[in-house]
Each structure stands twice: as structure tokens, then as C-alpha cells.
A and B are shown apart, each in its own frame.
Chain A
């Protein structure tokens, strides 16, 4: 007989409330708590919520004035990764359990990625995971994911699946320099993302994704799902966490020691000017976008962007990524010029980080949208 997991489903969570319930659920799996089956929560946020990663700067990643104007709630996840917009079109996934002894983070992430891909396969979508990137379809992100293990060995796997996405709205509330400055902002972002709706040609949202994802997880882990609800103690704990953590100024104002920073540099190509945008933390590239006036986004550009993510700004490393991606050949530009531009963008980001060092940036008070 297969093991049973508790399956929770809910919609319309607020930013703080949604994240608080995830943490409250996770807390029941900490060392010293009674053993219990894992919980899989498949849920959606209310339109709309902007959630930044564990170590991102809220003020740098989110346009807080736009959030206030559009009634978009904001908060910070326990898990790492980039800023996202959540609403009824995106399915939030929270899996909680005791962290498996002896398994490394990348092993665990691989397993959950496979389960997520199995869920999408039920909708006819072939998605793949390549270690440091997101779950992708043909090189385009369809789901973001992250893993958190707390000091008491409780584990939270987070994912967000793009059922549908209003890219124009996302660009309003998130600070995406590459998109803000590019001529074809929405197109530049849209070329690097895809949705279940776009892939299947049928309208999808969190509610329509839920059965497929639940089924994919059940099959991948060989378990059955038993629908349930959070118990009173979990709800009480979630209420407390929403107030004390996820709406608190100290939590919203956190950021990492190095501080994420953005920089850019221009590259001349035969087809016109292109610009490479990097988001870095110290000498680490967290994201890379090369925006240009492409008729069709060259796969080599996507390959270079993916290759640069989570790599250090070392000349040899950059040169190897550029060579492997074949972006120089695709754009008709000497590889050395692209390598130099990537380094220049990195230096620009470093300069900006030094101008606005961690902890002293203009962190405006964040109030709940009225």
C-alpha cells in the first residue's frame, strides 16, 4: 500500500498569509516534533502579490510605488531566488517534511523538479531542469523553484508554476532593469518565459494546474494524496508569523552582505546595438540578459544567459561560457568583444554596489496597500 501525503488546496492567499502558512506547516516537521506524513500545499495568491527571494533587497527588486498604486502586496520568502509576481494565474507549491538525512540539496531539488516535470507532462508539456536554472521548456522558464532547510531540519520546497502571466503587469511592479530599458521590454521578457497557457493553447490558471501537479507528485514519489486542511495550531502559528515576520519591517528590509546589484554594457553587432544586463552579488552572476533588436531571440543568446547564471565573473569562466554558447557566431561578433562586455557589465554592477552598499540603501517604509 502506498504512503499517503496530506494535500492542501487554497486560493487567494495574501502575501504575508501565504508565506506564513508555508512556514507554519514546515514547523511541524522540525526535529523533536512527532513523525507525520509530508504535506503538499497547492495554492494561489490573490491578485497580486510580489514576493522577493530570501536575500534580495525589496526596494531594489520591487517598485514599491507601483505596488501601492496597484494594490499589490509584498513580502519576502524563506527560499532564495528572484522576485516573482503571484496571483490567480500562478500555482504556488509548498512541500514540507523533515529534511531527508544524507541527501544533498541538489539531490532533493532534482527529485522535486522531476515531480514538477511529471505534473506538467500530464498537460502535454515537456519541461526540463538543468541544475542551476529554473524548470524550462525549450530554454524558457515555466516554473521557479527553491529549497529551504531550517536550523531544526524542517524542509520547505517552494515552486511557482506559470499557468498564465501578465508580463506588462509584472514589468510595472518588478524592477527588471533589462526590461525597463529595452525597446521591446515586454517582448524581451516574454521571450525568456513561457506559460502553461502558451504551451498548450488552452487557458490555464492555478486551479486548472492543481490536479495535474498533484498527480505528477503522487506518481513521482509513489504516494497517494489525501485531501486535508491545516489544523488549528498550524493556523494559529501562521497568524502569528504573518504579523511577526512576513509583515514586519525588519524582515522586509533584510538583504545579503554583498547586496545584489545590477550593471550593463553595450555591444556593437552587425544588426545594431545589443546590451548585456547582469544582476550580481559580489562577483557572482545571479541573472544575465542580453537584449537586442532581434527578430527572433537567438538560442545561442539564451544559452549564454543560462551559462552565465550562478557563475563567477572570472575572465576564463566567461570566455568558456561564451565559447560553449556559440553566441559570437550567432551574432557575428568576436567572442572577445562579448567577453569584454560581460566583464564591463560586471564592473558596472560592482561600482553600483559600492555606491549603494548593503544596509544603507534607501529602504522606504513598506506599508500594506490600502
Chain B
């Protein structure tokens, strides 16, 4: 996969070559017309707490938008990894399951979570943030909110 071009927003890296689900902070990268790679953006990671462990539903599992595809353990938090799209799990990142730090260090690259085929490529992808300007605006606003609330350090 090509090296990801990143912009830095107030100290946090943001990749503009993919789509984002605003509520869950999951990114979706189209790798083929009906196949995506899914990961978590740095704000999603930071607001979960330091990641201790990631686990994923097995390859072949059905994926439903808004429903879990795995679980994360972080400082003070255990909870679901929520899918931004529907489809079928085609691959899971075993390296991230063994070392959750990989997802913190390289959230847009080697720290990806799962790959999936899409059951509704046009419909669900349209509901995600896609335009670089709107992604940057959303990310900047969320970062400011989290800093104001004290859940991310100033």
C-alpha cells in the first residue's frame, strides 16, 4: 500500500485520502471498488485511553454498520469496536491484535484493524465524511471540543 500523506492538526495526524465515521472515529479506506480497510483515527484512540488490547471478530463474520466487530481494552475502558459499514470481514490485523501499540503508533498504516467486503458500497459510504475540507473541519472541531472538556491534554 502507498505511503499515506498526512496533515497535522494541532499535533494530531490526519489522513485525507479516506473516509471517516464522525461518531466512532473510524476511518474507511476503499482498497477495491467493494473492499475496504478500516481503522481508528488518533482522536478515537486518544479519547478511548491508552490501548492495551484489541480483538476482532473472525474472518467471515458478518459486519453491520453501527454494530461491533471486536473489542478494545484501554486504560479504564473496555468496550466494542463499532463498524462504520456493513459487509463481511475478509481479514483482521493480527499484528495489531498482538500489539495494540501498533495502532497507536501508526493508526493510518500498519495499525489498521480489519478489511471487509461491502454489502452496500454506495449507500453507506455516502454517509461518511469524504471531502478533505469537511474532514479537516470536523477533526479540528472535535479536537477543540475534547481539549475544552479536558479529555485530551492541551
Contact = CB atoms under 8 A, between A and B. Distances in A.
Interface in B73-95: 73-80
Contacts of A102: 23
Given A54-B73, A109-B76, A147-B77, A257 B47 contact: no
Looking at chain A's contact residues, the main secondary structure is loop
B120 interface: no
A151 B68 contact: yes
A281 B47 contact: no
A256 B74 CA distance: 12
B98 interface: yes
Contacts of A132: 49-50, 75-76
B100 A282 contact: yes
A148 B149 contact: no
Interface in B84-136: 97-101, 104
Contacts, number: 110
Contact of B53 (A55, A79, A311): A55
Contacts of B79: 99, 105, 147-150
B78 A104 contact: no
Interface in B13-56: 23, 25, 44, 46-50, 52-53, 55
A257 B97 CA distance: 8
A147 B150 CA distance: 18
A283 interface: yes
Nearest to B77: A105
A106 B49 contact: yes
B6 interface: no
B73 A55 contact: yes
A312 interface: yes
A110 interface: yes
A286 interface: yes
Interface in A128-160: 131-132, 145-151
A105 B74 contact: yes
A105 B49 contact: yes
Contacts of B48: 104-106
Nearest to A155: B79
A81 B76 contact: yes
Given A104-B48, A110-B149, A281-B52, A310 B98 contact: no
Contacts of B53: 55, 256-258, 281
Contact of A256 (B46, B49, B52): B52
A101 B80 CA distance: 13
A10 to B, nearest CB: 24
Interface of B: 23, 25, 44, 46-50, 52-53, 55, 67-68, 73-80, 97-101, 104, 146, 149-153
5 contacts: A54-B78, A79-B78, A147-B78, A310-B49, A310-B75
